[in-house]
Structure formats: structure tokens, C-alpha cells
Amino acid sequence: MVRRKFAKKGILAAGGCAVLAIGTLTFYIWQQATLIALGYQVSRLESVITGLHEDIRKMETEKASLLALDKVERIARDQLHFESARADQIVYEGMPQAGER
């Protein structure tokens, strides 16, 4: 049997092609894994945003209920023991007083 000799040029070309193919496949797999991870992260952040929007809506509803004038007046009278102002305690800004004309 005769053994065949391979040229150094052919071996280097085959090795270079193999390294290039492995490098390309590695880059492609890394890119796909990164895209999948980013997709999961975007999905998680969208669910966080949805939850925050729901919290904002709940807080706005609570704010509106707490600022209702009848509720504020009831708390002022019952808990803080406020009384209605008498006519002589009311001062109107920008309007002349009754005896100043």
C-alpha cells in the first residue's frame, strides 16, 4: 500500500474552513440564545408594566374616594371636631367688605 501525502496547503485550507464553520455556528447559537433571553425579559417587563398600570388605576380610584368632599367634611366634623364657619369669620379675597364701600 502506498500512503498518500497531503499538502500543507490543503490541510491549512481544510482547517481554516472548519474553524470558520465552527465560529459561524457558535456565533449563530449565541445570537439565538441572546434573542430568546431578551424575549423572556421583555415578556417579564411587560407583565410588570401591566401590574403597575393596575396599581395606578387602583390608587387613582382610592384618591378620588378619599378626596370626595362629603367624606372630607364628615372626617372633619366627626374625628377632628371642626365646626362650620360663622358669617363673620368668612373673608372673601378681592371683594370689598360690607362696611368698606
Give the model confidence (pLDDT) of 48-57 as tens digits: 999 999 999 9
Residue 34 has a pLDDT of 98
Band of pLDDT at residue 67, cut at 50, 70 and 90 = confident
Is pTM beyond 0.75? Reply is: no
The C-alpha atoms of residue 90 and residue 4 are separated, in whole angstroms, by 114
Residue carrying C-alpha cell 378619599: 66
Which residues have a Cβ under 8 Å from the Cβ of 65 and sit 6 or more positions away? 71
68 within 8 A of 62, measured Cβ to Cβ = no
What tens digit of pLDDT does each residue of 11-45 get? 999 999 999 999 999 999 999 999 999 999 999 99
Band of pLDDT at residue 85, cut at 50, 70 and 90 = confident
**Eight-state DSSP code of residue 80:** S
Residue 19 has a pLDDT of 97
